[in-house]
Amino acid sequence: MVLKNRTIKKRSSKAGLPPGTLVHVGEKKANNIRITYLDYDEQNFEEKSFAKIEECFPFKTTPTVSWINIDGLHDVEVVEKLGKEFELHPLIMEDILNTGQRPKLEDFDKYIFIVLKMLSYDGEKESIEAEQVSFVLGKNFVISFQERIGDTFEQIRDRIRNAKGRIRKMGPDYLAYALIDAIVDNYFVILERLGEKIESMEEEVIGDPTEKTVQQIHSLKRQMISLRKSIWPLRELIGGIRKSESSLINETTDFYLRDVYDHTIQIIDTIDSFRDMVSGLLDIYLSNISNKMNSVMKVLTIIATLFIPLTFVAGIYGMNFEYMPELKVRWAYGAVWLIMITIAVIMLFYFRRKKWL
């Protein structure tokens, strides 16, 4: 929800500006912009960190695969300069800076632009945090933009550094795939957390539901809705890369994309069945409340129907009429007790037959 409204606020605050105006829309999540640079081919490997964006421009034309990663988007100028140098369309740069994008793919002839959501689970707040990651995939480079320092790409960097797997032998399209794959793989971690939460919620609902339970179920539902919204467009996106027939995507990479595509569908499937489960939780909760009410009612009814008639009998012989012959009879008191006990026993039998006891 937080994520949701923030997105809209961001956009609504921009309403009316000419399209293509570069403004960073979103929270400032990093203090400094960090520019890192990885350059590799099968034999060579180089890793650098820059203070100024201009320093990485010379690498633009090298035949090796270059991966420029920018952490932090609040310095509009950096993005602008980079965009000019790499001839990015102004609306692309606007999209990079506006962190309220829907995941999407745009295929230009010279480069492919991809926007994704990187999710992380904040254990303390019990909420899912989303960070926008954009990729520009060019002929021999990948530029990635992140909102803050820290990502799920460390293992990819390791693979490049140590020439693990086939990444060093492949082109920038494989790198882009690897980055997307890392993000999608990370969704499984989020799903696992949600799955655990649903299971613990389930035990709570069955065992000992409190008045807060509905709200928690509701909040789980909302997390599912916003998660689905972040992931659903991915399916189309990856399908789009595969269908794009862009010269930037190698045929061998296509097979790997198919793999990510399968994972995306699996994730969406899982979210959908999670939603069904959460809806089921609400049903259990509501029928639990009904059951409790029912058992409260039964106790009340048993006590009341047991004692009200008896109290009436006692009331009768508490009357002060002068002429009440029973009052004088010696065994009358005992008889009244007998009558009362009989009534009570009949009642109890009745309750047992009705299965209230």
**Angle at 60 (CA atoms; ends 66, 182), nearest 5 degrees:** 25
317 binds a copy of itself, rule: CB under 8 A: yes
> Among 186, 190, 166, which residue's Cα sits nearest to residue 255?
166
Among 222, 242, 246, 343, contact with a copy of itself (rule: CB under 8 A): 222
Site residues (CB under 8 A) for a copy of itself, limited to 44-63: none
What is the token pair recorded at 167?
């990444």
Name the one range near a copy of itself by CB under 8 A: 23-31, 62-70, 76-84, 184-192: 184-192
Residue (138 or 233) nearer to a copy of itself, CB? 233
Q: Which is nearer to a copy of itself, 35 or 217 (CB)?
A: 217
> Of the two residues 58 and 315, which places its CB atom closer to a copy of itself in the complex?
315
Strand residue runs (E) in the chain: 34-40, 45-50, 65-71, 104-107, 112-122, 127-137, 141-146
Cα diameter, the chain = 121
CB of 234 to a copy of itself, least distance (A): 14
Stretch that binds a copy of itself, among 48-56, 59-67, 142-150, 212-220 (CB under 8 A): 212-220
Residue 42 engages a copy of itself in binding (rule: CB under 8 A): no
CB of 323 to a copy of itself, least distance (A): 5
Burial classification of residue 120, based on how many CB atoms lie within 10 Å of its CB (0-12 exposed, 13-18 middle, 19 or more buried): middle
| Tokens linked to 40 | 């590799």
Q: Smallest distance, Å, CB 215 to a copy of itself?
A: 6
Identify residues 145-164 at the interface with a copy of itself (CB under 8 A): 152, 154-155, 159, 164
Tokens of 313: 């009998």
Return the half-sphere exposure (C-beta side, CA atoms, 13 A cut-off) of residue 297: 6
Chain centroid, CA 126 distance in Å: 10
Q: Name 38's bridge partners.
A: 47, 67
Beta bridge mates, 36: 49, 69
Q: Under a CB-based contact definition with an 8 Å cutoff, are residues 153 and 179 in contact? A: yes
Binding residues for a copy of itself, rule CB under 8 A, total 118
CB of 57 to a copy of itself, least distance (A): 25
- Among the listed ranges 71-79, 128-136, 243-251, 317-325, the one in contact with a copy of itself (CB under 8 A) is 317-325
Query: Please, what is the minimum distance in Å from the beta carbon of residue 253 to a copy of itself?
Result: 11
Q: Which of residues 250-269 bind a copy of itself (CB under 8 A)?
A: 255-256, 258-259, 262-263, 265-266, 269
Pick one of 254, 307, 343, 348: the residue that binds a copy of itself (CB under 8 A): 307
- Pairing verdict, β 141-146 and 127-137: antiparallel
